[in-house]
Structure 1
Amino acid sequence: MGAVRSRSALSAWRFVAVFGVVSLLADFVYEGARSITGPLLASLGATGLVVGVVTGIGEAAALALRLVSGPLADRTRRFWAWTVAGYALTLITVPLLGVASALWVACSLVIAERVGKAVRSPAKDTLLSHAASVTGRGRGFAVHEALDQVGAVIGPLTVAGVLAVTGNDYAPALGVLALPGAAALALLLWLRIRVPHPDSYEDPAASAVSTDGVAAQRFWELPPRFWLYCGFTAITMSGFTTFGLLSFHMVTHGLLSAAAVPVVYAAAMAADALAALASGYSYDRFGGKSLAALPLLSSMVVLFAFSGNATMVVVGALLWGAAVGIQESTLRAVVADLVTAPRRASAYGVFAAGLGAASAAGGALVGWLYEISTGTVVVVVVAIQLVALLSMFTIGLPRGAAAAAPRPAETPYLPP
């Protein structure tokens, strides 16, 4: 019996790393596809309006549906089922895009891929948060995000290479993504078998679940500090620009060629990964005050990225990537420290939906201000980020390792 338990052991760090590789492979697939969604739909007869509507619906579904999938994951407690189903939907629909011969089919598949993200994200983040309670919330989410971004870089580059070799044939370019997709699903199922109950990593008192209590609560009954935290993230994201606008500025002002933009984007994704690691370690050491880096970075992005100098614009893009790295890692880690396990998937659903809505508003606001003048963008964005910075200190965020109680010792997962 002891031998069986030993073979089944999986440390929290190994769980985080394997889950990170799953995300790496999944990002390889769907970021590869998203890099050519517009041209693919255009090749099937789509107009610019159709592309905008379809991708907009997809992004809205990826965010808004988390308000449903999060609470449902909490109610059912079937986090693995939601995670596997969401990944499967994404990883199956992407290769099918390459063989879609009708525009309506391709549009449906594009939206379905985004629905898959909505289905899995709250449950996936909850599973990850259990192991991260041992590794350190910041570090656990940071390592996961860093691995995730490796796939975000490799995927588009692979698709671009296949298109170059095949003369812009979308079928093999998207078909090749079936290989990392199958590997991601296989690895995810292996992890689910090895660690059926990741909540065992977390302190039993924190992860204890009362089904009746969960069913009786609604997502708006989440802790007040969580809502204050959502307010801080909404403020800072309402003054954050999109890479689309950055690339528009690069090309229309003759600072970089269109061919150079994907290279800059790949570099920004590398900055994303490095910033996630630095931010995660900083959060575990210094606590919530380390999040002050986000509004500061967001202010620096517009100062550099909307200049008339190519070097400064590239630096601005790298700062943009660093800010995204914090958003995708440490912001999610804090949620796990503010909300106990029984309500965590609901919290992740609400948080993601709010973050997405604020991001959309921020993109529209900065785009509108850009049409007025880049100076106006700088003044307004810096003012917004100053408000965000001040609001952050009213929340009462976690204090960090120096002031917090000791974390549990790193022990392997052993099936109950």
Structure 2
Amino acid sequence: MLGAWRFVTVFGTISLLADFTVFGTISLLADFVYEGARSITGPLLASLGATGLVVGVVTGIGEAAALGLRLVSGPLTDRTQRFWAWTIAGYTLTIVTVPLLGIAAPLWVACGLVIAERIGKAVRSPAKDTLLSHAAAVTGRGRGFAVHEALDQIGAVIGPLTVAGVLALTGNDYGPALGVLALPGVAALALLVWLRLRVPEPARYETPTVPTPAPLPAPEATDDGRAQPSPPLPPTFWAYCAFTATTMLGFATFGVLSFHMVIRGILPAAAVPLVYAAAMGADAVAALLSGWLYDRVGAKTLAALPILSALVPVVAFTDRVWLVVAGALLWGAAVGIQESTLRAVVADLVAPPRRATAYGIFAAGLGAATAAGGALTGWLYDTSIPALIITVAVVQLIAVGLAVTVIARRRSAPARS
């Protein structure tokens, strides 16, 4: 069977053990595709006659679908145990819809494709995270998810830059710019099928010698042959969800940050993507660092997230260019922790039989809190920047208290083999 580290790196970025004929990876290539498309979703819809309201509603529905629908796909994945099937289906939906956006003339068709692409992420994510968690049990969950996230960002940077280059060469023709994304999409699907054949059962990595949560008892059948309801998720998991939701409730989105950059005349609009690319670099570095620390000092690493989140508005919402850029880098570092270490902790709190369900619930709560946090910080920005800074600081202080609760519960939990 493929080595665990090879599985993690192939799933997240360039395989460290494969030769250069396999120069790419599933998540890198998939990020190339959908991040490239998301970088021009607004202008594309506008070119088809959409208003700002339509763009906001469509992209909002898409993000809600990407996170909220995991409440459905997560439990279904656990119930069917067909992790590869759900993963392949989700990636296929994303990879097919993106190039079609380039030839979607009616506005309503383009809107449907934008939402469908996000649904593809909802379909695959619980299954993909569960598969990755099995391999990361050997490599160290913090490091495994961190490497996955850090290398993911390569695709997240290359995709938008490629689309921008094609637009420049074709005079802002969206067809070729989105059509070119079919190439990495096909490569991603081919590599995914190859990986499925090479590693049919990644759960084998999670051996009894690896410290994981105690397995949940199998549901017993009732007298009429029906299965009993699955055991509840552990209380520590719910406390952890409360912590992550709270810290995201006080987290400013990059949309608000970029709005500040342009509306205050701090940076020209053309420079904002460069700042975003730099933030993605900070994302990668923070993911690796927090993952390394998590494997060594445990859940105490979580305290870094509310601290970073509280610092973002203090630094970013100023009128000095270097401080605004520094604030964006802090924002990227916080996102790196969110996308790597937060997911790794879920795998350590919930045993495999209900892990996909847990990932679905975790993502849905995170998504709802992110949406609320974006609205809160945006409204406070329009009202008073000092009020925004104070509110975020109070929310993150509460999050620190919840993090302490999670750490204490993990320490008091019985030892697991």
Does the alignment reach a TM-score above 0.5? yes
Matched residue type, 2:10: V
After superposition, what is the alpha-carbon deviation per residue over 1:21-55, rounded to whole angstroms, capped at 9, x for unaligned? Answer: 21110000000000001111111111112111111
> Contact 1:288 / 1:397 at 8 angstroms: preserved in 2?
no
How far, CA to CA, are the matches of 1:199 and 1:277 in structure 2?
24
What is the match of residue 156 of structure 1? 160
Structure 2 matches for 1:235-384, cutoff 5 A? Answer: 235-384=246-395
Q: What displacement does 1:102 show?
A: 1.2
Matched residue type, 1:58: G
Any idea what SS the aligned residue of 1:308 has? coil
- The CA RMSD over aligned residues, in Å, is 2.0
> Contact 1:145 / 1:328 at 8 angstroms: preserved in 2?
yes
> Contact 2:70 / 2:125 at 8 angstroms: preserved in 1?
yes
Structure 2 matches for 1:3-402, cutoff 5 A? Answer: 9-20=1-12, 21-204=25-208, 212=219, 216-217=228-229, 221-396=232-407
Judged with a 3 Å threshold, the aligned counterparts in structure 2 of structure 1 residues 260 and 397 are, in CA distance, closer, same or farther, namely farther
Judged with a 3 Å threshold, the aligned counterparts in structure 2 of structure 1 residues 27 and 201 are, in CA distance, closer, same or farther, namely same
Matched residue type, 1:203: T
How far, CA to CA, are the matches of 1:398 and 1:316 in structure 2?
33
Q: What displacement does 1:368 show?
A: 1.2
Q: What displacement does 1:213 show?
A: 6.0
Judged with a 3 Å threshold, the aligned counterparts in structure 2 of structure 1 residues 35 and 398 are, in CA distance, closer, same or farther, namely farther
Judged with a 3 Å threshold, the aligned counterparts in structure 2 of structure 1 residues 365 and 197 are, in CA distance, closer, same or farther, namely same
Aligned-pair identity in percent equals 73
How far, CA to CA, are the matches of 1:237 and 1:138 in structure 2?
20
Q: What displacement does 1:217 show?
A: 3.6
How far, CA to CA, are the matches of 2:275 and 2:59 in structure 1?
23
Matched residue type, 1:202: E
How far, CA to CA, are the matches of 1:110 and 1:216 in structure 2?
39
How far, CA to CA, are the matches of 2:408 and 2:64 in structure 1?
29
Runs of at least 5 residues in structure 1 that lack an aligned partner in the other structure:
1-8, 407-416
Q: What displacement does 1:210 show?
A: 6.4
How far, CA to CA, are the matches of 1:173 and 1:217 in structure 2?
49
Matched residue type, 2:44: L
How far, CA to CA, are the matches of 2:249 and 2:348 in structure 1?
24
How far, CA to CA, are the matches of 2:284 and 2:48 in structure 1?
35
> Contact 2:73 / 2:122 at 8 angstroms: preserved in 1?
yes
After superposition, what is the alpha-carbon deviation per residue over 1:351-405, rounded to whole angstroms, capped at 9, x for unaligned? Answer: 00000000111111111111121111111111111111111111236979xxx98
Matched residue type, 1:318: L
Matched residue type, 1:144: H
> Contact 1:100 / 1:106 at 8 angstroms: preserved in 2?
yes
> Contact 1:289 / 1:397 at 8 angstroms: preserved in 2?
no
Compare relative contact order (CA 8 Å, sep 6+) and give the higher one, 1 or 2. Answer: 1
How far, CA to CA, are the matches of 2:199 and 2:58 in structure 1?
37
Any idea what SS the aligned residue of 2:35 has? helix
> Contact 1:28 / 1:177 at 8 angstroms: preserved in 2?
yes
How far, CA to CA, are the matches of 1:39 and 1:256 in structure 2?
20
> Contact 2:216 / 2:351 at 8 angstroms: preserved in 1?
no
> Contact 1:66 / 1:122 at 8 angstroms: preserved in 2?
yes
In terms of mean alpha carbon deviation, does 201-210 or 317-326 score higher?
201-210
Q: What displacement does 1:163 show?
A: 0.1
Any idea what SS the aligned residue of 2:193 has? helix
Judged with a 3 Å threshold, the aligned counterparts in structure 2 of structure 1 residues 255 and 133 are, in CA distance, closer, same or farther, namely same
> Contact 1:273 / 1:325 at 8 angstroms: preserved in 2?
yes
Matched residue type, 1:102: P
- Tell me how many residue pairs correspond in the alignment: 395
How far, CA to CA, are the matches of 1:198 and 1:226 in structure 2?
23
How far, CA to CA, are the matches of 2:328 and 2:291 in structure 1?
21
Any idea what SS the aligned residue of 1:395 has? helix
What is the match of residue 5 of structure 1? none
